[in-house]
Amino acid sequence: MYAQRMANRSSFYQSVSHYFKRAAKYSKQPKGILEQVAACNATYRMRFPVKCDDGTIKVVEAFRAEHSYHRLPTKGGIRFSKYVNLDETVALASLMTYKCALVGVPFGGAKGGVRIDPTTASEGFRERVTRRYTAELIRKNFIGPDIDVPAPDYGTGEKEMGWIVDTYKNIRMNEPNIYACVTGKPLAMQGIPGRTQATGLGVYYGIRSACDDSASMKKLGLPTGMSGKRVIVQGLGKVGYYSAHFCINDGKALVVGVAEKEGGIYAADGLDLEALMKHRAETGSILNFPGAENIEDRGAVLEYPCDILIPAALENQITGDNAARIKAKIIAEGANGPVDSAGEKILLERGILMLPDLFLNAGGVTVSYFEWLKNRAGVSFDRMTSRHEELTKREMIRSFEQLAGKTMPEADLQSLIEGPDEERLVISALEQTMARAYREISEFTKRRDLPDMRTAAFLLAIERVADSYGHHGIFP
């Protein structure tokens, strides 16, 4: 059943198109501009040979879609999955366009996909695939600091991004800003602190903003704030793990259920996340975790009692088939497209609050933007700000000391004036971005009398992309 659902990914493209058309009905933009906003500007479908570990040759199929050139460069992750196809890649690229517009990141949307199974492929094979894919993108001018900037996605991470930048800099060695050709890199290769947890942390900040909205919580019959709320997480990759981690440690919520590919677990009194991760590392599975109930059908975990459900795995996990059985009052879309249009209709009719992916998982691209800026500038953000702030604070405190006639101990003085490091700057900017986006979507929903947050988020993004086309005089 799962394999069949994953193989039929065209429905994801149809869902994105459905959401776009539904929101566009509320727009006053000319039809032609709306058609341009929806259109994918360019796609590249490639096949290339890669040597396997045993010496045989495998032909790998891969894709890259650049959805919108209203802002450059385009930006979007690279997904390694045996189910990836062109329709899915285009759908994800379009979501990136709208996501960037929604949170104020000045990129067009893009996405890449490579049809391999990263869970069974060796590291050597993945490296050869990644480097060849990069070379193919360079050949067709589908990558570059000012052209198209990839990032990690499902099945990829820092290691793959490191292989990409290494390949790029050895082919385009005389170009400036080489390290800005990709984001999500290791710190040793001019990555940025905070990128690894960025998407999951952004999910947490988005959920927290909603839970702090007293009017929304009153409608759901829930108390304001995150403390004590019960959470179920689907997927314990980077997004799912960090979402759960911050919900527990910062929000004081309880994670009561987890679903993974091998099955699911549930404990009404809450799970110890770090102990669970240790158990999984030792046994290779989340099952048989002490104090938790094993659930053979991983999809069934989504239907267990909770306040907040975070689907943080793949597309189409909540559909018309299971939406009526969901017990959560808040669906927080940590993944791209985890709820299809039929499922969403049922959830909204039941009064469930939907926090759409378009908004909620924008943390990754937000911090990727900071990394890209850092690489373009050639200097970290803390170096540009911290020393100046330290000197300013020191002068201010010395002035107060003179007025008071007392001197502060040097140790206390240093602790007080020390400027923020780069990670603190990045996390603070991410927190501000997510909180502002939630307020804008909420206010836009009320101002335009829109039926739900997803329609509002899509419409707000559509209007911003359309305005960009008009203001830049793109059309002859």
| Residue-wise pLDDT tens digits, 277-320 | 999 999 999 999 999 999 988 889 999 999 999 999 877 889 88
Percent of the chain surpassing pLDDT 90: 72
Q: Which residue has the higher pLDDT, 61 or 11?
A: 61
How crowded is residue 173: how many other Cβ atoms within 10 Å of its Cβ?
Answer: 8
How crowded is residue 186: how many other Cβ atoms within 10 Å of its Cβ?
Answer: 15
Burial 76-111 (b: 16+ CB within 10 A, else e): bbbbbbbbbbbbbbbbbbbbbbbbbbbbebebbbbb
Burial 329-352 (b: 16+ CB within 10 A, else e): bbbbbbbbbbbbbbbbebbbeeeb
Is 446 part of a structural domain of the chain?
Answer: no
Question: What is the model's pLDDT at position 476?
Answer: 45
At 122, give phi and psi (nearest 5°): -70, 160
Task: Kindly indicate the confidence band of residue 397, based on its pLDDT and cuts at 50, 70 and 90.
Answer: low
Question: What is the model's pLDDT at position 313?
Answer: 84
Which has the closest alpha carbon to 327: 380, 381, 256, 397?
Answer: 256
Is 299 part of a structural domain of the chain?
Answer: yes
Is 455 part of a structural domain of the chain?
Answer: no
Which has the closest alpha carbon to 434: 157, 105, 95, 147?
Answer: 105
Question: What is the model's pLDDT at position 6?
Answer: 45
Same domain, 307 and 392: no
Same domain, 173 and 206: no
Is 443 part of a structural domain of the chain?
Answer: no
Is 351 part of a structural domain of the chain?
Answer: yes
Q: Do 332 and 307 form a contact (C-beta atoms < 8 A)?
A: no
Same domain, 77 and 219: no
Q: Give one DSSP letter per residue of 277-319, joined into a string.
A: HHHHHHHSSSTT-TT-EEES-GGGGGGSS-SEEEE-S-S-SB-
Q: Which residue has the higher pLDDT, 75 or 380?
A: 75
Is 438 part of a structural domain of the chain?
Answer: no
Question: What is the model's pLDDT at position 379?
Answer: 63
Q: Is 111 a catalytic residue?
A: yes
Residues 61-87 have a mean pLDDT of 95
Question: What is the model's pLDDT at position 426?
Answer: 83
Q: Do 151 and 161 form a contact (C-beta atoms < 8 A)?
A: yes
Residues 227-256 have a mean pLDDT of 94
**Does the pLDDT value for residue 8 go beyond 50?**
no
**Does the pLDDT value for residue 3 go beyond 70?**
no
Tell me how far CA of residue 387 lies from CA of 364, 419, 427, 449, in angstroms: 28, 7, 19, 47
Same domain, 97 and 133: yes
Question: What is the model's pLDDT at position 315?
Answer: 78
Q: Which residues are CB-neighbours of 107 under 8 A, at least 6 positions away?
A: 71, 72, 73, 74, 75, 96, 100, 149, 365, 369
Is 214 part of a structural domain of the chain?
Answer: yes
The CATH number covering residue 53 comes to 3.40.50.10860
- Cα(243)–Cα(334) distance, rounded to whole angstroms? 8
Task: Kindly indicate the confidence band of residue 409, based on its pLDDT and cuts at 50, 70 and 90.
Answer: low
Summarize pLDDT for 147-185 with one digit per residue, the tens. Answer: 999 999 989 999 999 999 999 999 998 888 899 999 999
Q: Out of 143, 168, 189, pick the residue that ends a domain.
A: 189
Q: Containing domain of residue 396, as a range?
A: 379-408
Same domain, 275 and 203: yes
Q: Give one DSSP letter per residue of 43-83, joined into a string.
A: EEEEEEEEE-TTS-EEEEEEEEEE---SSSSEEEEEEE-TT
Say what the pTM is: 0.85
Question: What is the model's pLDDT at position 288?
Answer: 93
**Does the pLDDT value for residue 9 go beyond 50?**
no
Same domain, 214 and 173: no
Same domain, 184 and 264: no
As for how many domains the chain has, the answer is 3
Same domain, 183 and 204: no
Question: What is the model's pLDDT at position 419?
Answer: 54
Residues 206-215 have a mean pLDDT of 95
Token code pair at residue 326 = 């969901």
Q: Identify the bridge partners of residue 330 per DSSP, sorted by sequence position.
A: 308, 353
Same domain, 231 and 205: yes
Question: What is the model's pLDDT at position 218?
Answer: 95
Q: Out of 189, 220, 247, pick the residue that ends a domain.
A: 189
Q: Which residues are CB-neighbours of 475 under 8 A, at least 6 positions away?
A: 469
Same domain, 202 and 173: no
Q: Which residues are CB-neighbours of 341 under 8 A, at least 6 positions away?
A: 14, 15, 18, 19
Q: Out of 129, 155, 189, pick the residue that ends a domain.
A: 189
**Does the pLDDT value for residue 321 go beyond 80?**
yes
Summarize pLDDT for 23-48 with one digit per residue, the tens. Answer: 999 999 999 999 999 999 999 999 99
Hey, is 437 helix, strand or coil?
A: helix
Q: Which residues are CB-neighbours of 358 under 8 A, at least 6 positions away?
A: 95, 98, 99, 102, 454, 457, 458, 461
Residues 108-132 have a mean pLDDT of 96
Question: What is the model's pLDDT at position 5?
Answer: 44
Q: Identify the bridge partners of residue 339 per DSSP, sorted by sequence position.
A: 318
The CATH number covering residue 331 comes to 3.40.50.720
Is 123 part of a structural domain of the chain?
Answer: yes
Same domain, 352 and 212: yes
User: What order do you get walking across the sheet with 74-80 strand by strand?
Assistant: 42-51, 57-66, 108-114, 74-80, 148-152
Same domain, 169 and 290: no
Residues 93-113 have a mean pLDDT of 95
Q: Identify the bridge partners of residue 137 per DSSP, sorted by sequence position.
A: none
Question: What's the mean pLDDT when you consider all of the chain?
Answer: 88
The residue from 25, 28, 51, 111 that is catalytic is 111
Residues 113-122 have a mean pLDDT of 95
User: What is the sign of the dihedral through the CA atoms of 167, 160, 365 and 136?
Assistant: positive
